[in-house]
Amino acid sequence: MTETADVVIVGGGVNGVSIAYALAARGVGRVVLCEQAALANGASGRSSALIRMHYTNEWDARLAFASFPVFRHWPEIMGGPAVFTHTGFVNVVAPAYADALGKNVEMLRGIGVNTTALTAGELHALQPFANVDDIGAAAWEPESGYADPAGTVEGFRRRASELGARILQWTPVRKILRRESRVTGVETSAGRIDAGAVVVAAGAGPRVCAASSGSSCRRGSKGSTRCRWSGPGRSPSPT
């Protein structure tokens, strides 16, 4: 039996379920999300879930800044328990990158982000137990922190479902269907879903979907290091 939808979302991580919520909240007809396994079983469930605005790309920073109030006021906006923990956030760089960090902080402050560039000495005053011998500068966001990854995904799922979206777990999408250059739906393990639009939010590896739609998908990865500090008598502490 063929099912119909206005929008099909492929992928049940934080991007997919937040898209489902946003579309349902705006009254976009019938929204169906398909996840190949359990929700948040991929990168979302393994995320450090930092809530910060410190990005070198201005548009990334603007997106993060626009979403920040949702996390800070989660119970009022989304309902349910809070998912955000306020710790503050520090980004450190070597001396060779101190000037670039200063310019980045100026850009962030220009769009409204509460952030400050610190010298190594100022960072040590903020966190006396930190070794700052090889640090050239730091950016300090006092309002930032981290979220509960699974709780965030579940919160978006719950609100999307309450608003009429259908969330299908253990339903992998095998193929994106199209007629000439137009996408017409998806083929899943449970059958076909005809749809006017398909949103692929399947993370870094949606190769089957991309190939079946006639698209190419270039992927890359970038490593990063994160640490959480805790010290005697100091809470919260930066991430």
Backbone angles phi, psi at 154, to 5 degrees: -65, -40
Average pLDDT score over residue span 148-158: 97
Together in a domain, 122 and 62: yes
- Of the chain, the percentage scoring pLDDT greater than 70 comes to 85
Judged against a pLDDT cut of 50, whether residue 196 lies above it is answered with yes
Together in a domain, 106 and 181: no
Together in a domain, 83 and 118: yes
User: What digits encode the pLDDT tens for the residues 155-167?
Assistant: 999 999 999 999 9
Give the domain extent around 87. 50-147
Angle at the Cα of 208 from the Cα atoms of 207 and 214, rounded to 5 degrees: 90
User: What digits encode the pLDDT tens for the residues 53-106?
Assistant: 999 999 999 999 999 999 999 999 999 999 999 999 999 999 999 999 999 999
* C-alpha R_g of the chain: 21
Together in a domain, 133 and 188: no
pLDDT at site 229:
54
pLDDT at site 92:
97
Residue 226 domain-assigned? no
Mean pLDDT of the chain: 90
Residue 128's domain is classified under what CATH number?
Answer: 3.30.9.10
Together in a domain, 54 and 43: no
Which helix (DSSP H) or strand (DSSP E) does residue 125 occupy? Answer: helix 120-126
* Confidence at 235, pLDDT banded by 50, 70, 90: very low
The total number of structural domains in the chain stands at: 2
Judged against a pLDDT cut of 50, whether residue 16 lies above it is answered with yes
Residue 222 domain-assigned? no
Together in a domain, 45 and 109: no
Together in a domain, 124 and 40: no
Together in a domain, 78 and 90: yes
Describe the strand order of the beta sheet including 145-147 as a list of residue ranges. 50-51, 145-147, 84-86
pLDDT at site 231:
53
Together in a domain, 136 and 124: yes
